[in-house]
């Protein structure tokens, strides 16, 4: 029950104007695209940690996503022991190290709803790496993430860094986080930097251990949801459009939200925005269409109990599951994707299926992606009908 409430709140919050760690495109990428390179031979080459997962993503969805790469030995979504809420990260252990490497290469940076997930090798579990996260305040507003890292890197290996920014203006709020590899490194950084002035700064900074995430209470979220003005005053359309042209936009959902604002304006057609901002990287070779042409017909959406099954047609022969995750993931909870392949050639037969949990998200995905140009192909996307069943 609580989880449903939280999920509903997340849905609401996800309609906000910005995505996590995407206020600065390049900064966010840096933060998410540098898998931890252990450099120790005893480190696992099969076990991955996955960070920045959507709040409502389940362990089953995590397994489904990463299982599309290769056989999984084990998979765990970490949840709060008391509330059961997802803590937004999990572990995936593959059978084959090559699949782990492939998962990093293909899934790191994947956008799911409002999140950009990070996929990297898990460090060996140890007490020494826990509670190594620092909260830093009083930073000069001009300080960049890189400069912040330079300041702290003298005390140890930095796992993540972040500077919080104003959601509207994008300007630094003067506070940030530094996560070290070891807690002892974080302790030394506090000793060395708390109360000190960074080079060129006029005010000293405060460095302390960050709050423990488990201390968060749901009341704070509820208060945030109901009292904060979730609506930002919309910037002029051209100004917003610039965000998409400069690739700083982060998700299909953002494109869709923006497209609603621009409805009817020919320069801001959704397919154009998607191709501009989403950058689905594929130039699939042409393919002869054989069969599957009689799709027009009964159009009764198929609800299979486990979710809403969506039919995707006109995929290229080399299409794989990851492209379906990339396209549909931003719209909401995706529980499963499947590319239908020829048994002998292992090439995609031109279609696949996507299962989504929520009707409205599935409907939005269909409305947005039907007719979407993927490479040189125009996709047909609809709810799966009985017609697609073949005995």
Partner DNA sequence: TCGTATT
Which residues, numbered 73-132, are part of the site for DNA (CB under 7 A)? 74, 76, 78, 87-89, 91, 93, 118, 120, 122-125, 129-130, 132
By CB under 7 A, residue 175 contacts DNA: yes
Site for DNA contains 235 (CB under 7 A): no
Q: Does residue 352 interact with DNA by CB under 7 A?
A: no
Interface with DNA, residue 135, by CB under 7 A? yes
Cα dihedral 264, 266, 268, 271 sign: positive
> Which residue in the set 7, 14, 23, 52 belongs to the binding site for DNA (CB under 7 A)?
52
Cβ of residue 78: shortest distance to DNA, in angstroms? 5
Instruction: Determine the Cα–Cα distance for residues 150 and 294; give it in Å rounded to an integer.
Output: 60
The residue among 156 and 174 lying less far from DNA, judged by its C-beta, is 174
Classify 260 as helix, strand or coil.
helix
Residue keyed to tokens 């937004």: 88
Task: Give the Cβ contact number of residue 140 at 10 Å.
Answer: 18
How far, rounded to the nearest angstrom, does the alpha carbon of residue 169 sit from its chain's CA centroid? 22
Residue from 146, 197, 216, 232 binding DNA (CB under 7 A): 216
Q: CB 207 → DNA: shortest distance, Å?
A: 10
The Cα–Cα gap between 303 and 384 comes to 9
Structure tokens at 31: 């933060």
C-beta of residue 39 within 8 angstroms of C-beta of residue 124: no
164 touches DNA (CB under 7 A): yes
DSSP character at residue 85 = -
Binding of DNA at residue 174 (CB under 7 A)? yes
CB 89 within 8 A of CB 8: no
Q: With CB under 7 A, what is the number of residues at the site for DNA?
A: 42
Binding site for DNA (CB under 7 A): 20-21, 36, 47, 49, 51-52, 55, 74, 76, 78, 87-89, 91, 93, 118, 120, 122-125, 129-130, 132-133, 135, 137, 159-160, 164, 173-175, 177, 179, 208, 210-213, 216
């Amino acid at each position: 029950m609580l989880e449903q409430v939280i999920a509903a709140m997340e849905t609401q919050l996800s309609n906000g104007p910005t995505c996590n760690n995407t206020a600065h495109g390049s900064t966010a990428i840096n933060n998410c695209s540098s898998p931890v390179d252990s450099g120790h031979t005893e480190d696992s080459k099969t076990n991955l940690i996955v960070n920045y997962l959507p709040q409502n993503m389940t362990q089953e969805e995590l397994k489904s996503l990463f299982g599309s790469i290769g056989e999984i030995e084990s998979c765990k979504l970490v949840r709060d022991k008391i509330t059961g809420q997802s803590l937004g990260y999990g572990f995936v252990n593959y059978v084959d190290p090559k699949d782990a490497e492939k998962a990093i290469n293909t899934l790191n940076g994947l956008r799911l709803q409002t999140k950009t997930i990070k996929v990297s090798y898990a460090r060996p579990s140890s007490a020494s790496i826990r509670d190594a996260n620092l909260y830093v305040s009083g930073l000069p507003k001009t300080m960049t993430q890189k400069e912040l890292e330079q300041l702290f890197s003298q005390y140890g290996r930095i796992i993540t860094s972040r500077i919080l920014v104003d959601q509207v203006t994008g300007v630094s709020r003067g506070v940030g986080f530094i996560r070290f590899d070891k807690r002892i490194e974080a302790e030394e950084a506090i000793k060395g930097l708390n109360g000190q002035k960074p080079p060129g700064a006029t005010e000293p900074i405060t460095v302390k251990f960050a709050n423990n995430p488990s201390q968060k209470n749901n009341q704070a979220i509820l208060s945030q949801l109901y009292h904060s003005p979730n609506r930002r005053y919309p910037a002029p359309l051209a100004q917003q459009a610039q965000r998409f042209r400069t690739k700083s936009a982060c998700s299909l959902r953002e494109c869709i939200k923006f497209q609603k604002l621009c409805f009817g304006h020919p320069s801001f057609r959704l397919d154009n925005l998607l191709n501009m901002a989403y950058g689905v990287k594929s130039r699939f070779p042409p393919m002869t269409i054989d069969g599957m042409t009689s799709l027009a017909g009964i159009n009764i959406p198929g609800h299979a109990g486990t979710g809403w099954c969506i039919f995707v047609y006109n995929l290229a022969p080399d299409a794989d599951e990851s492209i379906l995750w990339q396209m549909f993931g931003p719209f909401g909870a995706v529980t499963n994707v499947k590319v239908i392949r020829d048994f002998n050639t292992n090439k995609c037969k031109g279609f696949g299926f996507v299962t989504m949990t929520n009707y409205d998200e599935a409907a939005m995905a269909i409305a947005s992606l039907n007719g979407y140009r993927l490479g040189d192909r125009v996709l047909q996307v609809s709810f799966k009908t009985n017609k697609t069943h073949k005995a």
